[in-house]
Amino acid sequence: MAGKRIVNAYKNVEKDKAYALKDAIKIVKENATAKFDETVDLAINLGVDPKYADQMIRGVCPLPHGNGKKIRVAVFAQGEKADEAKAAGADIVGAEDLIESILAGKIEFDRCIATPDMMGLAGRVARVLGPKGLMPNPKLGTVTADVATAIAKAKAGEVQYRVEKTGIVHAGVAKVSFSEDKIYDNAKMFIDTIIKAKPQSLKGTYLKKISISSTMGVGVKVDLTAL
């Protein structure tokens, strides 16, 4: 069944052709035939080598229309900041108890935030959260005293990104149920964010290839010259 779906999807996609972003989005929506609301994914190939610190492309990108995903937020905080986090809509708030839960393998959140004074404690689970991309990080705005704002941004669909060893950056930027215009706005915002993150020291081609797809669909190449 899946094979038949892929074959049908390629009927309206020329493998070697690069499409304007809006046209690519239209094709992705037309090809999304799964029985669930598929995620629209962007894959951007960059001419960087992440082993060099100045070429590690990493950050956050606010999406104009959110990404359609319900984000569960955990916060390391205590006292007034814990109360503030709960009032702001955090799903989990804790300290030692949150550490114990994580070490026990109970990770029921998609974003983890910590107040600066809690980073010593949070460091105890760095080996667990780090590989999952969940460790609080000042550069990502997830180590902050302003927990309410950080929670609001996470809940609004702000996406985190980090280049892989192969030089690829992935991000789920929308759901196929979104209108083409909303998907375009989100995708363009993410692409522009990555372009602006180009290292000043980089020599050679930075933006090498972009493809867009739905969870169960085929990748559609995006024309870089039209961006």
**pLDDT tens across 42-64, in order?**
999 999 999 999 999 999 999 99
Look at the domain 73-155 and name its fold: Rossmann fold (3.40.50)
pLDDT for the residue numbered 13: 85
Tens-digit pLDDT profile for residues 51-110: 999 999 999 999 999 999 899 999 999 999 999 999 999 999 999 999 999 999 999 999
**pLDDT greater than 60 at residue 130:** yes
As a CATH number, domain 16-62+159-226 is 3.30.190.20
> In the chain, where are the structural domains located?
16-62+159-226, 73-155
Which conformational region is residue 204 in: left (phi greater than 0), alpha (psi within -120 to 50 degrees), or beta? left
Instruction: From residue 15, give the alpha-carbon distance in Å to each of 11, 19, 128, 219, 222.
Output: 10, 10, 40, 9, 11
